[in-house]
């Protein structure tokens, strides 16, 4: 990693692995249900799914279960988060997903190598979220799905209007359906096919 990174729970900082337990609070399911989010990804059993910024893997057990014949790849800037996500998967009886450590501004994957990419509460921690979305578009196959979920109260939250502007600037097309109102939203976009 060549850029300077800042860790903390404030705006623009990377959420530190030492506080990962906060992301695993059981009350979170009322705001962010892992099965519901997985449903929105429209995954087929053989899908290739990239989860960027999984943290300690709150969603990763469910995501891995949905692609038994495909591939779920964990990608995070903090190797400690990747280790936690894989350990939680193992404890839940799920084969740990392959994990890659790196910066989402430069994804170490070939063009068009995934069917879907999901980012939950991640984009606002990345300086240049539009550049990140360009990278995501590059690694998605034509027609591939980008799914971004954000929660109210998160200091790094990106509002839907801003997200849509960034995603369209990166060449994505907004998918049909409203992203939702309330404590969290999930917006979907398609890579041009
Ligand atoms: C607030 S946590 C969210 C974790 C998880 N998605 C969830 O909702 O529980 C943000 C995660 O994004 C990761 N992250 C932040 N910036 C990143 C970057 N540039 N590249 C890859 N991962 C990044 C952090 O390390 C952290 O694990």
Residue 178 has pLDDT above 80, yes or no: no
Would the CB of 61 count as within 6 Å of ligand 1? no
140 CB burial (10 A radius; 0-12, 13-18, 19+):
buried
118 CA from centroid of ligand 1 (Å): 11
Residue 101: pLDDT band (50, 70, 90) is: very high
Share of the chain above pLDDT 90, in %: 83
- Which tokens sit at 131? 């550049």
Residue 171 has pLDDT above 90, yes or no: yes
Average per-residue pLDDT in the chain? 94
Residue 11: pLDDT band (50, 70, 90) is: confident
Q: Widest CA span of the chain, in angstroms? A: 41
Q: What is the distance between the alpha carbons of residues 136 and 131, in angstroms, rounded to a whole number?
A: 9
Overall pTM > 0.95 = yes
* CATH assignment, 29-190: 3.40.50.150
Q: Which residues neighbour 38 within 8 Å (Cβ) at sequence distance 6 or greater?
A: 59, 62, 63, 65, 66
Would the CB of 58 count as within 6 Å of ligand 1? yes
- Which tokens sit at 26? 């059981």
Q: What is the distance between the alpha carbons of residues 37 and 187, in angstroms, rounded to a whole number?
A: 10
Q: Residue 61: helix, strand or coil by DSSP?
A: helix
């Amino acid at each position: 990693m060549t850029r300077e990174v800042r860790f903390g729970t404030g705006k623009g900082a990377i959420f530190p692995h030492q506080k990962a337990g906060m992301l695993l609070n059981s009350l979170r399911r009322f705001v962010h249900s892992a099965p519901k989010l997985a449903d929105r990804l429209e995954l087929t059993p053989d899908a290739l799914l990239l989860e960027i910024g999984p943290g300690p893997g709150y969603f990763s057990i469910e995501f891995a279960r949905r692609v038994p014949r495909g591939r779920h790849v964990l990608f995070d800037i903090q190797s400690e988060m990747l280790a936690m996500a894989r350990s939680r998967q193992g404890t839940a009886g799920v084969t740990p997903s392959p994990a890659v450590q790196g910066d989402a501004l430069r994804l170490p994957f070939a063009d068009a190598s995934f069917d879907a990419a999901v980012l939950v509460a991640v984009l606002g921690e990345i300086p240049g979220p539009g550049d990140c979305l360009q990278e995501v578009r590059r690694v998605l196959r034509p027609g591939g799905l980008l799914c971004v979920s954000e929660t109210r109260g998160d200091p790094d939250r990106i509002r839907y209007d801003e997200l849509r502007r960034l995603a369209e600037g990166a060449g994505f097309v907004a998918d049909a359906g409203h992203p939702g109102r309330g404590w969290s939203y999930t917006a979907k976009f398609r890579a041009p096919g």
